[in-house]
Amino acid sequence: MSVREITTIGDPVLATPAREIDPDELAAPETQRLIDDLVETKRAFDGAGLAANQVGVPVRIAVVEVEPGNPRYPYKPPFPLTVLVNPTLEPLGDNVAEINEGCLSVPDLRGDVPRHLAVRARYLDRDGVEREQDVRGLSAGTFQHEVDHLDGILFVERVADRKSLSTWEQFERHRRDEFLRRAEQINRWAQS
């Protein structure tokens, strides 16, 4: 496993939909190594998720994981490591909330993005097994963020109110407390 360089906003690979991969390609050692590297890179940078095109590889693979005490996203509930291959998402209901997001590919910028609070994810795991999982709350937002990457969409394109954009420093200074109250409500809703 190795930590890969994160591709940043402006690189065309982030603006282009990633291609699906077939089962033979998924089983190949280089694809399995890519998955290991995505996990290692996500952890090294304290991300909540990472898509393959964020390391310059335009295939529909992403990983999601929130470890307890994540310093970048301390308000997100823990979520076990999940490898998403060729994922699709289906909103479950009409509940939407503004989630303040950041992104490893958009350094030092955050903004409010409307996200469905419950989604059904369908995907292959790293072994090619078909999975279906309902995800709620802030975790549903993380899944949507990563699938957006695979579709060539960055969170800044989904920000409804451009005035919500801020650096991390300004977020901490002016917006953090209000968002933490909102995040707490979302977390409570997700547990109900």
Which residues are annotated as catalytic?
146
| Paired tokens of 176 | 């953090």
SS3 40: helix
- Residue at token pair 């490591």: 81
Question: By C-alpha distance, which of 79, 71, 24 is closest to 49?
Answer: 79
Tell me the C-alpha distance between 52 and 35, whole Å: 8
CB 130 within 8 A of CB 48: no
CB 14 within 8 A of CB 51: no
